[in-house]
Amino acid sequence: MDNFKIIEIKKSVFENNDREADKLRDELRANKTFLLNLMSSPGAGKTTTLKATLSRLKDEFKIGVMEADIDSDVDARTIEQSGIESIQLHTGGMCHLDAGMTRQGIDEFDANRFDLVVLENVGNLVCPAEFDTGSSKNAMILSVPEGDDKPLKYPLMFTISDVVLINKIDTKSVFEFDDEAVKERIHKLNPNAEIFFISARTGEGVDAWCDWLRRQVNEWNK
């Protein structure tokens, strides 16, 4: 009979993270702070979309932004120049944020001061989808140049996202992108996902997205 014990490390890590995430989410709800976890691949337009969103909501809510990156402060500086309070979270080489890292940022930022906190996660479509950050809602951005096949290649990201923003629709004349195909692929994975077609550069569709976010924040903070 074998005398050694087998430990499922990955399962244990996820279970511990999920408990911490649920605890953080309960605390945020009690403090009436809505946390949006925003994810995308690099270059999809997270920061540009965020700036367009903040410009529409900053007079209605007290907003803070936590920028996650492996090793830079470019995004935090960009957001701060927009007049929104921000901090930079360095992941030390890790390709995602988990609930523990998010809590460190929340505590350091004293995020309970805000109605809405946006966590701009590390840019990729794999690792951030695996870890619950404790957010109130998950949002992701898929840009037109990336192609309409990404739900097939990165299903988990689309499965866990409450809302999908299809960004850079102003580039459709350059790139082949099938709106109906991408909607069908997303809803096959996640029938409840909200989908908005936007251009953060021109502003097209951004108001509809902001209306959705506004409703979510108000409902959370009742």
pLDDT tens-digit readout, 62-82: 999 998 875 556 666 778 788
Alpha-carbon distance of 98 to 91, in angstroms, equals: 10
> Quick check: 7 pLDDT over 50?
no
The two structure tokens encoding residue 206: 């951004």
Alpha-carbon distance of 124 to 63, in angstroms, equals: 24
Band of the pLDDT at 11, cuts 50, 70, 90?
Answer: low
Band of the pLDDT at 83, cuts 50, 70, 90?
Answer: confident
Alpha-carbon distance of 20 to 13, in angstroms, equals: 11
Strand-pair category, 163-167 with 194-197 = parallel
> Quick check: 138 pLDDT over 80?
yes
> Quick check: 43 pLDDT over 80?
yes
Q: Is the dihedral of CA 65, 70, 71, 74 positive or negative?
A: negative
Selection from 190, 185, 191, 146 nearest residue 45 by Cα: 146
In three-state form (DSSP H/G/I as H, E/B as E, the rest C), the secondary structure along 26-50 is HHHHHCCCEEEEEEECCCCCHHHHH
Selection from 88, 87, 85, 158 nearest residue 128 by Cα: 158
Alpha-carbon distance of 40 to 90, in angstroms, equals: 17
Alpha-carbon distance of 164 to 133, in angstroms, equals: 18
The two structure tokens encoding residue 137: 């809602």
Q: Is 146 helix (H, G, I), strand (E, B) or coil?
A: helix
Which pTM was predicted? 0.91
Alpha-carbon distance of 174 to 152, in angstroms, equals: 22
Task: Return the bridge partners of 37, or none.
Answer: 119, 138
Cα of 107 vs its chain's centroid, Å: 19
> Quick check: 12 pLDDT over 70?
no
Strand-pair category, 137-143 with 34-40 = parallel
Average pLDDT taken over every residue of the chain: 91
> Quick check: 199 pLDDT over 60?
yes
